[in-house]
Amino acid sequence: MRAAISLLLAAATAAVIATPAAHADTNRDELWIGGGTRGLGSSSANALTGDNLSGTSLGLARDLGIAVLPHLAVWAEAGLTTGDANGVMFQSLYTELNALGLTGGLRARYQLHRLIAASARLDLGAQRASLAISDHAGSSASDHG
C-alpha cells in the first residue's frame, strides 16, 4: 500500500514538473465590468437633479494579432455604459435621467514589463439620454435624444 502511494506521488510530481508553466501573454481576450459616477456639469442638468449620474460599464477587447513593433499589439474593443440620476425640481416635480452609451474602437497596447502595460485607445460610438418629469397628480412628460 505504501509503495502504491509513493508511486502515485512520484508520478504526480513528475507530471507537475513536466507541465509547462502558463504565461499571461497568451491571453488574447479581456472582459471588464465596473461602475462609476459622473458629475453633471451644466446648469440645466443641475436644475434637474443634485445627484451625480451613476451607473455601470461593461467591455470586451480582443488582441487582433497584429504586432506593429516588438511588445506593441493592436486590440479591438467594444463597450457599454449606463447611468441614471433621480431628483426633484421646484420641490414638486420628480425627474429621472437615464443614459446609455455604446462604443467600439482600437487600442494600441505596449508591454512595458511582464505585469505592466501602457495603452492608448480611440473609440467611436453613440449615446442615448432620456428624461422623464412627473408630478404628484400623475402628469408626466418625457423626451430622449
pLDDT over 50 at 16, yes or no: no
Helix or strand or coil: residue 115? coil
Sign, Cα dihedral of 44, 48, 51, 53: negative
For CA atoms 68, 72, 77, 83, give the dihedral sign: negative
What are the pLDDT digits (tens) for 92-109?
Answer: 889 898 999 999 999 998
pTM here is: 0.66
Q: Grid cell 479581456 — which residue?
A: 30
38-78 pLDDT, tens digit each: 777 777 777 777 788 889 999 999 999 888 888 899 999 99
Cα dihedral sign, 21-27-33-36:
positive
